[in-house]
Amino acid sequence: MNRVTCPYCGSTLMKTEGIFFCSFCQMKVSKHITQTEGKRLVIRKREFTQITQLEQSTRLLKKLSTYELLELYHYIRTEEQAAEVLVTLAADLNDDEQISYDSVLETTTLTWKRKKRYILENLLRERFGYIPTVTVRFLEEYLEKVRHDEQASQMEIER
């Protein structure tokens, strides 16, 4: 039978009244993250992110993997910059200083994008301690490091 272990230190967990407890880490461990035979915590990641995830509440965004947050942040920064250019162009083209319906709509969209960017920046700041500069290359390198770590962890378990 496989022993239930702590995902952080690998110690065998004690179970009392349906609650798992790690005596080494001195903490409760949720059933959904317990491991077997000393395996490490599995890092949830998707290799692509759905842009519709931006429409989720902050509470749900907090549950996304770091990679998903990075990818959404990169997307929203790009979209926000494009929207700023459109708003600037619309303002320059407007001769009679009347704001058109499209310009108001774009400003509202820009405000939404800016607020979502703030949310993503704060979530990334919580995880990294700073707001990273996210480029396509940064995303590729990050994903490669995650894959490398998974392979190293698997090799360690097999030994």
pLDDT tens digits, 11-67: 999 998 889 999 999 999 988 888 888 887 766 656 567 888 999 999 999 999 899
Q: Given this model, what pLDDT does residue 106 score?
A: 58
The count of other CB atoms within 10 Å of the CB of residue 6 is: 23
The β-bridge relationship of strands 4-5 and 35-36 is antiparallel
More confident residue, 138 or 152: 138
Are 124 and 64 within 8 A, CB to CB? no
The count of other CB atoms within 10 Å of the CB of residue 61 is: 19
Q: Given this model, what pLDDT does residue 107 score?
A: 57
Q: Given this model, what pLDDT does residue 159 score?
A: 55
Are 39 and 13 within 8 A, CB to CB? no
Alpha-helix runs per DSSP H in the chain:
58-61, 66-93, 101-128, 136-158
Q: How confident is the model at residue 118 (pLDDT cuts 50, 70, 90)?
A: very high
Per DSSP, the three-state class of 53 is: helix
Q: Given this model, what pLDDT does residue 99 score?
A: 55
Helix axes 136-158, 66-93, angle to 10 degrees: 170
Maximum mean pLDDT: which of 2-6, 71-75, 91-95, 102-106: 71-75
Judged against a pLDDT cut of 90, whether residue 87 lies above it is answered with: no
Bridge partners (DSSP) of residue 35 are: 5
The count of other CB atoms within 10 Å of the CB of residue 68 is: 19
What's the whole-model pTM score?
0.69
Give the strands of the sheet with 19-22, arranged side by side: 14-16, 19-22, 27-29
Q: How far apart are the first and last CA of the chain?
A: 20
Q: Given this model, what pLDDT does residue 154 score?
A: 65
